[in-house]
Structure 1
């Protein structure tokens, strides 16, 4: 028998091939730990733009109407131009020295630097009650019917949050101070605006709105002396407001920001002096104007105890109250500087006369206001027919270096009018008139 080698055996050859194939197959099935699990893309995908979505209450706000004026004013001042600013009602006079000295002393006391209660210290609320009784004959409970605010604007806005919601409607004056409109809108409420030029007509329109709108408006907002138009009323107006409020079931907020600035013997009445006013509403006051304390942010809400409590609830979640040293200084201002407040009104009255007389000499139709810090002036012809109020205001700024507030910043009813503040001294106001005259001279 002869010996044979496996390599010469066809069957053996086939077995070897099958073994090799099995080994190769086994290697192909084994994972390669050096290879990436997923092949990377050749380029990274372009990310979608990141978008910040605001709440609908913010989307409902229009562009800021004074933006163009403020931007031009800023650019001109950066370029070194001496612009006379009659646009903003920002008092240029200083508070009384005794008030500033009290602030300095109170600020030095470590006990005044902690959190302050949001409704204000008791002695400040008592001083507000004292002023209401002394000036208007109104009795107020300082513990339940008065609350301090970080300026009246903050208090008003938070009161709207306490009262208004989706589906609720407020009646506001027209033309309107912006917070009267947008404080309601930011609280998700709706607005009906009524012309304030004729107080009797305004009241008739309030009654008509309540008779024909369903549901009946929840809130009436009034503002006398009025900003921007400087319209004024007598106490019988508020008597009728209270009657209508009780008849139709709406609440009332009176913005009394210009309570302390009045001329020619006129005394602006307090809403709370009307019989039954505390049953239906509140009044906001401030120390920004007559006391020259705008930057201090000291305001008050007084009146209906339930509404005051509602405002306090909102404020309790939003703030801790104003710096206690400021509150202590405000007590001194209320207690000791009433004569200075009356003197300040005379200062504004002198400025009013300078500006009114100067514009009248230029042919403008201007009625001297009885109260407030503003002149509401009709744009003269031929400019009123030639251009919008915004364009006219920009012309005065860009060509005359005088800044004013175009009436359209206070709603459509303000078209054709300018608001001019009385914060500059008499010399600067005369200079403003000269610059306006030169700007409008026919070329």
Structure 2
């Protein structure tokens, strides 16, 4: 029998395997007796509010909630999402044509290129960037054009350095502010520039706003759709995962330009049956609580954790600039007080591995998010204050080469 591959070559282009590597490092650390503090994956450690959980539990007991849901989401959820967009950003959208419900924003990010592009098209994505940005292009047979995000520019792209030919040839440009992993924010002027470029060159502007409720020090992240005329050329992803602690529920939405939203809606009508109705009912309650002020804004929790953790690390000798937003710290590599036994130089991946094996603290090396991420690690603030303080103590011991 002839040997055939039962594995698509596209899988090799999906991006870094670092998350599987980190999982194996955690197993190794556990076998060595380490009690691991996992600051790797950005999964909220808090549950949704009691009202959201009650709405979900009541909905799942209703006998009429088990038929196939609509692939575009219930009209009730889309109407609530439209109300929230108006309340939060002053943006008016049509819930029928300008919103499609998603199984979390990653669902939409993974499928958008399939809905909008043909094989061989080009799409601009940030480097470093959330891994699904580039992985989705590999699945669609689309060519990525990497837009470097560097510290000297505040992790904003240097738009003047981008050749005009890039803007003229790409199908869409994907950016996200507040940004994962680099935690930077963007001002109105930046979005005005991007909308103007999109109109001038005819590309679609795609904005990932998963961290809209995680601005610190008085910062309120903005929507690209606040820019006049943006709906002509832009769409935006929103997620209830981080803002409302509903990561496991899988619910979010795409909003904006009706043609692009309609393309994703049409694709999804052919590949899935949408979000479980009970989850949508819980999402309606979450958005209502956000508008009513019945819940503490999630950004306050992560701002307190940020302050505590950054100050604790500084006391251990690792000084990092405070992030302005998100649930992450994008940290330049510390200056290590000891050298590796094999004589190799420290880099993001080696520091991440040795930190986990030796002191049991898991972080993600920056190169997992693109080549521009080398020299950094991403730390997720997804443990309570006592564990963050313990993690800082362990990290300090690791930097100094001490045993714990």
Per the TM alignment, residue 74 of structure 1 is displaced from its structure 2 partner at its CA by: 2.9
Aligned residue number for residue 211 of structure 2: 258
1:373 to 300, 304, 327: 327
Aligned residue pairs, count: 394
Partner residue, 2:383: 424
- What per-residue deviation string (whole Å, max 9, x for no partner) do you get for residues 292-342 of structure 1? 000000010000000011001110011101110111111111112443554
Map 1:129-148 → 2, pairs under 5 A:
129-148=82-101
Per the alignment, do residues 274 and 342 of structure 1 end up closer, same or farther by CA in structure 2, a change over 3 Å counting? Answer: farther
Aligned positions of 1:401-420 closer than 5 A:
401-420=360-379
* Alpha-carbon distance, 1:57 to partner: 2.7
In the TM superposition, 1:45-56 aligns within 5 A as 47-48=1-2, 50-56=3-9
Q: Provide the C-alpha distance between the structure 2 equivalents of 1:406 and 1:171, rounded to a whole number of angstroms.
A: 23
The answer to whether the 8 Å contact 1:96/1:337 transfers is: no
Equivalent position of 2:77 in the other structure: 124
Q: Which shows bigger deviation, 282-291 or 359-368? A: 359-368
Q: Does 1:101 align with 2:60?
A: no
Match of 2:276 among 323, 330, 335: 323
Q: Secondary structure at the match of 2:266?
A: helix
Give the secondary-structure state (helix, strand or coil) at the position aligned to 1:218.
Answer: strand
Q: Which moved more, 1:54-63 or 1:361-370?
A: 54-63
Q: Which secondary structure does the structure 2 equivalent of 1:358 belong to?
A: helix
Other-structure match for 1:60: 13
Give distance in 1, aligned partners of 2:299 and 2:104.
Answer: 20
Deviation at 1:354, TM superposition (A): 1.1
User: Whose radius of gyration is greater, 1 or 2?
Assistant: 1
Looking at structure 2, the residues matched to 60 and 442 of structure 1 have their Cα atoms a distance apart, in angstroms, of 37
Aligned-residue RMSD, C-alpha: 2.0
Matched ranges for 1:55-94 at <5 A: 55-62=8-15, 64-77=17-30, 81-94=34-47
Cα drift, residue 382 of structure 1: 3.7
Is the 2:155–2:182 Cα contact (8 Å) retained in structure 1?
Answer: no
Cα separation, 2, equivalents of 1:102 and 1:200: 40
Shift of 1:343: 3.4
- 1:53 offset after TM fit, Å? 4.1
Aligned equivalents of 2:172 and 2:136: distance in 1?
Answer: 12
Under a length normalisation based on structure 2, what TM-score does the superposition of the two structures give?
0.93
**What are the ranges of 5 or more consecutive residues in structure 2 without an aligned counterpart?**
none
Query: How far, CA to CA, are the matches of 2:108 and 2:266 in structure 1?
Result: 12
| Inter-partner Cα distance in structure 2 for 1:215 and 1:272 | 22
Would the alpha carbon gap of residues 347 and 436 (structure 1) be closer, same or farther in structure 2, given more than 3 Å must change? same
Q: Taking CA–CA contacts closer than 8 Å with sequence separation of 6 or more, which of the two structures ends up with the larger relative contact order? A: 2
SS in 1 for 2:141: coil
Task: Tell me the CA shift for residue 359 of structure 1.
Answer: 1.5
- Match of 1:202? 157
Per the TM alignment, residue 184 of structure 1 is displaced from its structure 2 partner at its CA by 1.4
Higher alpha-carbon deviation: 425-434 or 159-168:
159-168
Q: For 1:395 and 1:187, how far apart are their aligned partners in 2?
A: 36
Scaled by the length of structure 1, what TM-score is found? 0.85
Q: Secondary structure at the match of 1:267?
A: coil
For residues 213 and 220 of structure 1, the distance between their equivalents in structure 2, rounded to whole angstroms, comes to 10
Q: 1:382 to 1:441 in 2, by over 3 A?
A: closer
Mapping of 1:273-352 within 5 angstroms? 273-338=226-291, 339=293, 342-352=296-306
In the alignment, which residue of structure 2 is the partner of 1:436?
395
Query: CA 1:215–1:371 in 2, change beyond 3 Å: closer, same or farther?
Result: closer
What is the rounded CA distance, in whole Å, between the counterparts of 1:293 and 1:214 in structure 2?
Answer: 36
CA contact (8 A) 2:123 2:173 kept: yes
Partner residue of 1:272?
225
